[in-house]
A and B are shown apart, each in its own frame.
Chain A
Amino acid sequence: MISHVRLIRGLRLNKTINSVSNCTVYIAFAVVCLFHEQSVAQTDSLRYVFQPSPSSVTSQVSLTGLVTDLNKQPIPRVSIYVDGQFTGTNTDDQGKYFLSLKPGDYRVVFRHVSMLPVIVSVSLGKNGVVNVVMYEKKFNLEEVVVEAEGAEQNVSKIDAGVIRMGIKELKQIPSFMGEPDVIKGLQFMPGITSVGEGSAGINVRGGQADQNLIMINEVMVLNSNHALGFLSPFNPDVVQDFTLFKGNLPSYYGGRSSAALNIQMKEGNPDQWKFQGTLGTTASKLFAEGPVIKNRLTFLSGLRISNTNWVLNQVRNKDIQNSSLTFHDFYGSLQFSISPKSQLTLNTLSTGDYFKFSEEFGYDWKSSVTSLQFKSLPTNRLALQALVAYGRFRNNYFDPTGNEAATLRNGMDYWQSKISALFTIEKHTLTAGFESIYYLSKPESLSPYNEQSAVISASIEKDKGIELAGFIAEEWTPLPALGISAGLRFSLFQQLAPDSIFLYANGQTKSIDSITDTLSVTNGFIKQYQGLEPRIAIRFTITQDQSLKLSYNRLIQYIQSLSTTTAPTPIDLWQISSYYIKPQISDNISLGYFINLKENKWSFSIETFYRKTQNALDYKNFPDLFMNNHLETELVNGRGKAYGLEFLVKRNRGKWTGWLAYTYSRSFIQVVSPYPEELINNGNWYPAVYDKPHVASWIMNRKLWPNGLLGFSFTYSTGRPISAVSSTYVVDGVSIPNYSNRNEYRIPDYYRVDISYTAGSVLKKLNDSLSITVYNLFSRRNAYSVFFQSVDNSLILKPYRLSILGTVFPSVTYSVTF
């Protein structure tokens, strides 16, 4: 028999339960003194006793369990900390944890950024199970918490180069249009940049935007371009948290050579229905969640629709008034509990964008991904997960006027399946599984836009391929001061038949003129690539508050985005590896030092990384990528290198919280070829378009009485490289810019200050909030680009700076929850 005490808001309960080795004890815990910083940490009211049976004496016992929230949803990445021990552990994606300890009395702390901490005392004489229910932190806490995870995990976790952030932390960063965004929020963290405002995607540790694997609930999202780059498709109302792996990926993630971002979406509330409506300056939202069948089937959905056209109509310019811009995104989830230990989830994410500029041109693109996921906990040591997913995107580019008014269409379908098992035993956590992705590029077509158009309809076939991967990962803590995470991924890619490939003359650059023959392959595969991808991370714990981490990762990428633009755009082509396009392979090394001070109130880290890439893609001058069935004639193969130093200091708790991040990093490409058409900058290393040596960001938050939160952010970065006009010459009356070597110059440096104020309970009797954001407070005209143009028919080209958001941009968002 064991007895324990439950404390809920000062109510003391006594309960007796049967003592068995795998007994399950649900506890709930809340804090009476919400307004005192240390009150939670000092409360120590839960005690469990697992008495040893007289017949068994063991030197090592286990403490396991499940951590959930009030809605019985498992909480991943809860840090579990054992007093008197060097290290703790974390709950896995299923909310499970496992600790191996010597028999004895322990004080165990459960911490999560969004939850109130739980502290239990355990007298462990034999294996025991303690399941914990955690309460969400309330908004009206005196202090602000910006821990992306339990702050001590900064030191204790084995992996380095990982950023975890919950949606609450994201909302504390002042955001453009008052809409917190996963992709934009990450740009405040070290090692992450973007080409500029209004550009989709991020560049992680010197990688291109298409070298990032983006997932929702581990399902690949191939096309994340949305709202013309100002927002990502991930509505913050339906996002739980997200994790970015910077060049240090566990082996169960692969297929990209730079980083992986997994966005964990919320699960529906199993107990009650909840509705929320939000009205914003440029977008409005609806959110709903609740039980369809009590404790069996839950539902969650979030819809976001733009209301930007009224903004365009305010502009006096006729072209702008005749323009149209709309976007929407929808996320829906149905979760079915098959049994207490297994569940089935159906998720779908759908986005649509439409933009037309006057009668000149327009874009229309849609993407969706739908998945069915199965999760099960057959035993307390084993978790199984399987998923099947179907994704698609379609891009249309249209030119509505003139003889050649036409619509260009392309797209891709993909099917993903993945199965994995996670097994925990004492000091080991073993993950193994298999993944496959089938890519089917849709034929690219050109068709007349209207009856007046004289364009001839045409279509070209595109490639298809399959990517297969098996993976195994082991997390092992052989010594209290040493943690090792090792994994191996074997990936294989096949470009599938039927298809035909062009053969080119030897000794010449690939071009239409050097095609000598066509090779048709009717079945099987055309080309196969494969490779082993070792992943290893080692953590040395120096003291309880300090650690050193080292990692090496090899990553192979079999699909890339082809684009002639500086940042991802809706018209980018996703191109799988093929007979001529080799997979990109990157080797990533990082070393980091982590220290927490004042009981994790302050976190500090410094990390350095080096990355080299084989088969980096770049383009010949003036590439023609559309309606082109020999894309290899437009591409050049090179190699890349990137290195840098990342510095981060965070104040995790207190009235003022926030962080200061600084990154020094460089990213270069080199293209060497015997053919002049393929040589870039004479074969010398040149900076990538997103190479920004110095990037700094400073975030601060302050709780204001009674229900307000003040946010402040400052961003600085070196200007990105551009090619500039080295001289101007005139041919047939036309002033022609003569450009320098590729990316030889830089645009001016970037500075921006934003502030926000969020107030809860604005109107009595309503559960509402009001958010006011002022983006670019000092109205600085930061350059997105510098270009050279002739004005008023002058023969001299002059340099002009384009600022996308060249003035202060205020926004207001009001939200009500029922």
Chain B
Amino acid sequence: MLTVILLGIVTACIDLIEFPLKNETKQLVVFGQLTNLEEPHYLYLSETFSGSKNPLIINGVLITTALPSPVKGARVTLYDNQGNSYPYREIEPGKYELQELTAALPGVEYSVRIQRGNQIYESIPQSISELVGIDSTYYEITEDVYPSKDGKRLTHLINVFAETTLPETENELFLRWEVEEVYYWELTFFPNPFNVPPPDCFVYSNPDPQRITLFRNSRVNSKTITNQVTSREIDATFKNRHYFIVRQLSLNEDNYRYWNEVKQLVGNTGSVFDTPPAAITSNLINKTNEDEKVLGYFEVSRVSETRFFLVRGFIPYYLEPYCEYDPQKPRSEYPEECVSCSNVPNSTGVRPPWF
């Protein structure tokens, strides 16, 4: 970062380039969450691509690799230290849902076991943390100017903050925040004989996925802390009710270590001050081949969740129409995400109960 900025900032450049890569061996990627909340608990299995495919080239530019492909047909089981086991069921390719257990219990250690062919992977047993802070959320709307191909572009941002009341404890506390947004996506209301409105469409999204907000209390002496947990450009998605769901996760130390390393890698900007990149160690191992390096993490955490929403009236700016009906425009010229909810990624027609 620093070297970009110094007086040479005037001349520093960042360009997308081609970068030839070697094909690596496939690696299993695991991510699962088990929390104290009574909610569906998922575990995702995938596999890095590059072993089987040539690097992806878009517009003549070599992209590192495509995203991992889902791993289907694995047998996934959750074990606890009291002799219980709970199966996972594959509900989508690579997406497994925990059965028979609705929430993690305090004091119980859990580990996940994945059987894929003759390979068996296990996570290190862990239990949920005893304490978690209480969040009070608020937002600010700001302006910023971004460079773009056709000059500078003024944008409006919504920045979400979590003011956290920390629990009284003498133990170390490791916290992470994740933010999800859910908004109502208004499809184009095309005139029809029965004047039937388009179906509901609710979109789930991670508004600022590469932002990783972490906190540990070992070097801080305060009962409350404030963190910005997300920042998002204000656009047509704010024309209707737009929820932000802020989840505060209380982690164990190794889980915090994992996310801290992710944060360092994601935050690298190529400058002299960058963290030297390295592979991040998972808490899963291949019991049948310990030399295999597994990616990802299975985390067991205590969570507190807060939600708030904005409606159109909260946004003090003009929002460009996007899916509005125009009698002069044929249906085929509308963006596909205006026509059908199924064309919108991560969308559903099912209204969340709290929406």
Q: Could you list which residues of chain A lie within 8 angstroms of chain B, going by C-beta atoms? A: 195-199, 228-230, 282, 308, 311-312, 314-317, 320, 323, 325, 355, 357, 361, 363, 402-404, 406, 446, 454-456, 458, 564-567, 569, 619, 621-622, 627, 722-740, 742, 744-745, 748, 781, 783-790, 793, 795-807, 809
Contact = CB atoms under 8 A, between A and B. Distances in A.
B64 A787 contact: no
Contacts of B225: 403, 454
Nearest to A729: B29
26 contacts: A198-B6, A198-B8, A198-B272, A199-B272, A320-B9, A403-B220, A403-B226, A406-B219, A454-B222, A569-B2, A722-B277, A726-B64, A727-B68, A734-B210, A736-B295, A738-B295, A739-B265, A781-B15, A795-B209, A799-B16, A799-B64, A800-B16, A800-B17, A802-B12, A802-B13, A804-B12
A740 B274 CA distance: 16
Contact of A403 (B7, B9, B68, B215): B215
Interface stretch (B20-28, B100-108, B327-335): B20-28
Interface in B47-68: 48-50, 56, 61-68
A796 B63 contact: yes
Contacts of B29: 729-731
B319 interface: no
B24 A727 contact: yes
Nearest to A743: B276
Contacts of A806: 11-13
A728 B272 contact: no
A454 B13 contact: no
B270 A800 contact: yes
Contacts of B68: 727-730
Nearest to A787: B270
B18 to A, nearest CB: 8
B268 to A, nearest CB: 5
The winner among B13, B219, B222 for most chain A CB atoms within 10 A is B13
Nearest to A320: B9
Nearest to B3: A198
A784 B3 contact: yes
A320 B5 contact: yes
Nearest to B17: A801
A807 B12 CA distance: 8
Given A228-B6, A403-B222, A738-B48, A727 B65 contact: yes
Nearest to B56: A796
B32 to A, nearest CB: 10
B264 interface: yes
Q: How large is the interface on B (under 10, 10 to 19, 20 to 34, 35 or more residues)?
A: 35 or more
Contact of A800 (B14, B22, B219, B280): B14
B48 A802 contact: no
Contacts of A795: 67, 209
B170 to A, nearest CB: 13
Nearest to B281: A621
B110 to A, nearest CB: 18
Contact of A228 (B3, B62, B178): B3
Interface in B206-245: 206-210, 212, 215, 219-222, 225-227
B275 interface: yes
B296 interface: yes
Contacts of B48: 726-729, 738
Contact of B64 (A228, A728, A809): A728
A793 B5 contact: no
Contacts of B11: 804-807, 809
A325 B219 contact: no
B7 A311 contact: yes
Given A734-B210, A736-B280, A802 B66 contact: no
Contacts of A622: 260-261, 264, 275, 278, 280
Nearest to A725: B64
B21 A726 contact: yes
B22 A726 contact: yes
A731 B44 CA distance: 9
A565 B272 contact: yes
A565 B49 contact: no
B64 A727 contact: yes
Contacts of A788: 64, 268
B266 interface: yes
Given A788-B64, A802-B269, A803-B12, A723 B296 contact: no
Given A325-B6, A800-B14, A564 B276 contact: yes
Contacts of A446: 219
Contacts of B276: 564-566, 619, 723, 742
Interface string B182-221: 0000000000000000000000001111101001000111
B128 to A, nearest CB: 17
Contacts of B46: 729-730
A455 B6 contact: no
A451 to B, nearest CB: 12
A805 B8 contact: yes
A340 B222 CA distance: 68
Contact of B220 (A198, A454, A621, A729): A454
Contact of B279 (A404, A735, A739): A739
A801 to B, nearest CB: 5
A740 B12 CA distance: 27
A705 B281 CA distance: 66
Contact of B4 (A727, A797, A802): A802
B41 to A, nearest CB: 13
B278 A796 contact: no
A198 B262 CA distance: 27
Contacts of B18: 799
A738 B279 contact: yes
A207 B155 CA distance: 48
The winner among B18, B24, B46 for most chain A CB atoms within 10 A is B24
A728 B210 contact: no
B219 A458 contact: yes
A446 B49 CA distance: 44
Contacts of B1: 357, 361
B119 interface: no
Contacts of A804: 3-4, 8, 11-12
A805 B10 CA distance: 8
Nearest to A809: B11
B317 interface: no
A733 B3 CA distance: 30
A787 B209 CA distance: 18
A798 B56 CA distance: 10
Given A230-B8, A566-B274, A796-B67, 6 more contacts: A198-B272, A402-B227, A722-B277, A731-B262, A736-B266, A803-B14
B220 to A, nearest CB: 4
A800 B15 contact: yes
B50 A785 contact: no
Contacts of B6: 198, 228, 230, 308, 325, 355
B9 A312 contact: yes
Contacts of A355: 2, 6
The winner among A567, A736, A809 for most chain B CB atoms within 10 A is A736
Report the 5 A-B pairs with minimum CB-CB distance, sorted nearest first.
A454-B222, A806-B13, A787-B270, A802-B270, A621-B278
A141 B227 CA distance: 67
A732 B31 contact: yes
Nearest to A314: B10
A357 B5 contact: yes
Given A454-B222, A622-B278, A726-B65, A785 B262 contact: no
Contacts of B21: 724-726, 745
Contacts of A786: 17, 19, 270
B225 to A, nearest CB: 4
Contact of B3 (A229, A731, A732, A789): A229
A107 B185 CA distance: 97
Contact of A796 (B7, B66, B226, B268): B66
A733 B209 contact: yes
A790 B210 contact: yes
Contacts of A796: 56, 63-64, 66-67
